[in-house]
A and B are shown apart, each in its own frame.
Chain A
Amino acid sequence: MEKLIVSSSPHFNGKKTTQNIMLDVIIGLAPAMAASVVVFGLRAAVVILTCVASCVLSEYLSRRVMKRPQTVGDLSCVVTGILLALNLPVTINPLMAVFGSVAAIVVVKQMFGGIGQNFVNPALTARIILMNSFPAPMTHWTAAFDYGATADAVTTATPLAAYAGFNETGGHIPYLDMFLGRTGGCLGETCALAILIGGIYLIVRKVISPVIPVTYLATVAVFSALLGRDPLFDLLAGGLMLGAFFMATDYTTSPLYFKARIVFAVGCGLLTVVIREFGSLPEGVSYSIVLMNILTPLIERYVKPTAFGKVKEKKGKGAR
């Protein structure tokens, strides 16, 4: 008999792999991608392809240069590419999109050790880098269904910018338009319906737990109402849906377990509304998620689960 394999138990493992999780995320993002093409035309597809291609290439090259095992196959770079594209305006210069992709993969992800090691969300951080590097092109919004609009065309305000009184008055945008995506904005943030479909798919497939999105959205709604804002508007506007379902739930940069996830999501919600209400920016989703990403290790340090049967020391000795 040949030598037997001796390994530590368990001798079975489940069918989920990093790759098929990422594939599920891509499928979950498909409705939002499709919606972006419907709303903004084929140029949206060009932006998405540019981002995905440059993310994949960045990942491949950086692993090569660093002489580390190739990880392109886990598809996480594809997810980053799609998420970044969905956070860009359709009129973005493709070179800027490439710059953002390289920043996301090389600087934010690979320089910290690759998948699972980055401490902030690569796509969101790249968006912030682009926002600060190219403020004008990054906030140049075209109206929905205005397929021919170029960078010089008449711009439109996003609902949030209108709300904050930044651009020419947008008036009251019907909720239904915001829900279906008939407004200006980034590629992926306008159509709440498409994001909801994708988010529900991820929850059903158990790729994400509903804890973070539900808590995040609920916090925004409650806090928005407390400040006298319009909660329904706040829920549908800007990148909140996309952020809540696809960005705040990023495994690497969000807490590992229930209790800490609640704290994390409440923090995201509070910061989002605070930035929207008091900040000089119309939109707060990306900053609030990135800020909470940075706080994740701290949250995990203070909000810990209790091991089975362990009696908390502070709770008095009488507890059973």
Chain B
Amino acid sequence: MQQPFPTRPFKTHGGAPVPHHKNTWQAPSVVMPPPARVVIPMQQHIGAPCRPTVKKGDYVYLGQVVGDSDAYVCAPIHASVSGTVAEITQVMLTGGQMTEAVVVESDGKMEKDPAIAPPAPITNKKQLADAARRAGLVGLGGAGFPAHVKLNVPEGKEIDTLIINVAECEPYVTSDHREALENGQNVLEGIYKVKEILGVHRVLIAIEDNKPDVIEKLREIADDPQKDPQDEVRVLPLKSRYPQGAEKVLVQACTGRKVPPGALPADVGCLVMNIASVSFLASYMRTGMPLTLKRVTIDGSAIKEPKNVIVPIGTPIQKVVEFCGGYKAEPRKLLMGGPMMGIAITSDELPILKQNNAILAFDAQEARLYETTACIRCGRCVAACPMELMPTKLEKAAEKKDVEALLSLDVMTCMECGCCAFSCPAGRRLVQAIRLGKSYVKKAGGKK
């Protein structure tokens, strides 16, 4: 059954007027030459880590599997350069946890794995999910959830809407923007494929209205009556208000449906895919080349030449920054991801991961920590929360480690988008407190 297409987005709650800082949207992406060595961590997704399938001294081709696991929620990892495995080592990831990593010394030839060939034509859901797994695809929007798990919609859950996420609401980040402009055809090809296989008759390409060029471009391609005779793929411009691209908010803006706490978009008949993911699927089906490259926005006040770079996964951040002209000021804060939800990292020696969409380097001025004063109960955090929670009360409950209160305030529904802390005139570290609160709840075993 086809659902009607919305002409304008549905109302969403709260949000924050974050500055856009989309400095890099106009510049075409640049392909970075392969670095001398890449460090490929075995954990680049949500779920079980991979185990290295190669050992020191092995020769690896570009695109060859170097890490895999039998676990279901896991995506294999491929070599992003050809060369010799220098070592299997331990690296620290953003969350502070250690994981194994395969270090490949590049031979500079980028020799493709001869086994790589276009996959057999995909006709059903199972094959699509398998292909996504073989390709090593994870959600490229930032979360890194293995795509085959998402695409393998459980029986009994009917998907009537496919949402393509081009909201890109995080400040600075423009990698999806460039993807749309540079690979629009590819994106649509991927959309048609996924739509056909999943049997979905309503596809919404959701784009924040601060990207009129993307809206125009994708509309132009999507309006091709030959490929889409029923006009089942349409562009839906969204209000430019952070966090439109957050999955639950996006589903609400596109369909008016609210994903219940602890549920997935599939529970309300939606499947959300990032534009880069769907575009990658299209090229994988054409070439069989797994995920080894990632378009990353390099920006921030400490970067000399901000731009979008297509980087071999595993390239140390340092090398990518050097490729962008280096630092123009002493970096004081390095972020993986955007300023609202990105993670501050401890060193620029960390490698680029599959799900990275941006690396930001802030100078002293931009990295300055703001002062915290007393809560004045102004209610701005409550008004800003897209999940309709009460951040200030959550903060107080977290300070008291009151698990019962935290649960009654639905702490687990928080998606840590940062709207509350952004809006707080007292500069309170609300998200930090809520994260702590979540950890107390988890420790108490009450995830509900």
What residues make up the interface of A, taking CB atoms closer than 8 Å to B?
A: 1-2, 4-14, 16-18, 20-21, 71, 74, 76, 113-117, 209, 251-252, 255-257, 305-311
Indicate if the CB atoms of B258 and A308 lie closer than 8 Å.
yes
Residue from A5, A74, A311 in contact with B260 in the complex, judged by beta carbons closer than 8 Å: A311
Residue from A1, A11, A306, A310 in contact with B339 in the complex, judged by beta carbons closer than 8 Å: A11
Give me the 9 closest cross-chain CB pairs, A-B, nearest first: A10-B418, A8-B432, A307-B410, A309-B258, A256-B379, A308-B387, A309-B260, A11-B339, A251-B378
Q: Which residue of A lies closest to B389 (CB)?
A: A307
Q: Number of contacting residues on B, CB 8 A?
A: 64
Q: Which residue of A lies closest to B418 (CB)?
A: A10
Say whether, besides A1-B348, A4-B345, A307-B410, A116 and B261 are in contact (CB < 8 Å): no
Q: Which residues from A are CB-within-8-Å of B427?
A: 13, 17
Indicate if the CB atoms of B387 and A11 lie closer than 8 Å.
no
**How far does the Cβ of B365 sit from chain A's closest Cβ, in whole Å?**
12
Indicate if the CB atoms of B367 and A18 lie closer than 8 Å.
no
Indicate if the CB atoms of B263 and A309 lie closer than 8 Å.
yes
- Tell me whether B131 is interfacial, beta carbon within 8 Å: no
Indicate if the CB atoms of B388 and A307 lie closer than 8 Å.
yes
Say whether, besides A252-B377, A310-B413, A9 and B340 are in contact (CB < 8 Å): yes
9-residue interface stretch from B28-36, B100-108, B327-335: B327-335
0 or 1 for each of B51-71: is its CB under 8 Å from A? (1 = yes): 000000000000000000000
Q: Which residues from B are CB-within-8-Å of A114?
A: 374
Complex: A195 Cα to B341 Cα, angstroms: 41
Pull 19 A–B residue pairs with CB atoms less than 8 Å apart, ordered by A.
Answer: A4-B334, A5-B367, A6-B333, A7-B333, A8-B429, A9-B342, A11-B342, A11-B344, A14-B422, A76-B376, A115-B376, A117-B374, A305-B382, A305-B388, A307-B413, A308-B261, A308-B387, A308-B388, A310-B410
Indicate if the CB atoms of B413 and A115 lie closer than 8 Å.
no
Q: Which residues from B are CB-within-8-Å of A17?
A: 425-427
Residue from B370, B377, B418 in contact with A116 in the complex, judged by beta carbons closer than 8 Å: B377
Residue from B13, B17, B332, B431 in contact with A9 in the complex, judged by beta carbons closer than 8 Å: B431
Say whether, besides A16-B423, A17-B427, A116-B375, A9 and B341 are in contact (CB < 8 Å): yes
**How far does the Cβ of A97 sit from chain B's closest Cβ, in whole Å?**
25
- Tell me whether B290 is interfacial, beta carbon within 8 Å: no
Indicate if the CB atoms of A11 and B410 lie closer than 8 Å.
no
Complex: A306 Cα to B429 Cα, angstroms: 23
Q: Which residues from A are CB-within-8-Å of B330?
A: 1-2
Interface residues of B: mostly helix, strand, loop or mixed? Answer: loop
Q: Which residue of A lies closest to B374 (CB)?
A: A116
**How far does the Cβ of A118 sit from chain B's closest Cβ, in whole Å?**
10
Indicate if the CB atoms of A13 and B422 lie closer than 8 Å.
yes
Q: Which residue of A lies closest to B14 (CB)?
A: A308
- Tell me whether B343 is interfacial, beta carbon within 8 Å: yes
Indicate if the CB atoms of A308 and B13 lie closer than 8 Å.
yes
0 or 1 for each of B2-25: is its CB under 8 Å from A? (1 = yes): 000000000001001111000000
Q: Which residues from A are CB-within-8-Å of B333?
A: 4-7, 11
Complex: A305 Cα to B14 Cα, angstroms: 13
Say whether, besides A21-B425, A307-B261, A14 and B16 are in contact (CB < 8 Å): yes
User: Which B332-358 residues have a C-beta within 8 angstroms of A?
Assistant: 332-335, 339-348
Indicate if the CB atoms of B426 and A18 lie closer than 8 Å.
yes
Complex: A254 Cα to B380 Cα, angstroms: 13
Indicate if the CB atoms of A10 and B388 lie closer than 8 Å.
no
Indicate if the CB atoms of A18 and B376 lie closer than 8 Å.
yes
Indicate if the CB atoms of B342 and A310 lie closer than 8 Å.
no
Most buried by B among A114, A255, A256, A308: A308
**How far does the Cβ of B270 sit from chain A's closest Cβ, in whole Å?**
13
**How far does the Cβ of B377 sit from chain A's closest Cβ, in whole Å?**
5
Residue from A16, A74, A256 in contact with B392 in the complex, judged by beta carbons closer than 8 Å: A256
Indicate if the CB atoms of A310 and B260 lie closer than 8 Å.
yes
Complex: A251 Cα to B369 Cα, angstroms: 25
**How far does the Cβ of B333 sit from chain A's closest Cβ, in whole Å?**
5
Q: Which residue of A lies closest to B415 (CB)?
A: A308
Q: Which residue of B lies closest to A252 (CB)?
A: B377
Residue from B376, B380, B421 in contact with A10 in the complex, judged by beta carbons closer than 8 Å: B421
Q: Which residue of A lies closest to B384 (CB)?
A: A14
Say whether, besides A4-B347, A9-B418, A252 and B424 are in contact (CB < 8 Å): no
Say whether, besides A2-B332, A18-B376, A116-B376, A13 and B421 are in contact (CB < 8 Å): yes
Indicate if the CB atoms of B343 and A5 lie closer than 8 Å.
no
Indicate if the CB atoms of A308 and B342 lie closer than 8 Å.
no
Q: Which residues from A are CB-within-8-Å of B294?
A: none
Complex: A130 Cα to B331 Cα, angstroms: 57
**How far does the Cβ of A64 sit from chain B's closest Cβ, in whole Å?**
17
- Tell me whether B390 is interfacial, beta carbon within 8 Å: yes
Q: Which residues from A are CB-within-8-Å of B426?
A: 17-18, 116
Indicate if the CB atoms of A305 and B390 lie closer than 8 Å.
yes
Indicate if the CB atoms of B425 and A12 lie closer than 8 Å.
no
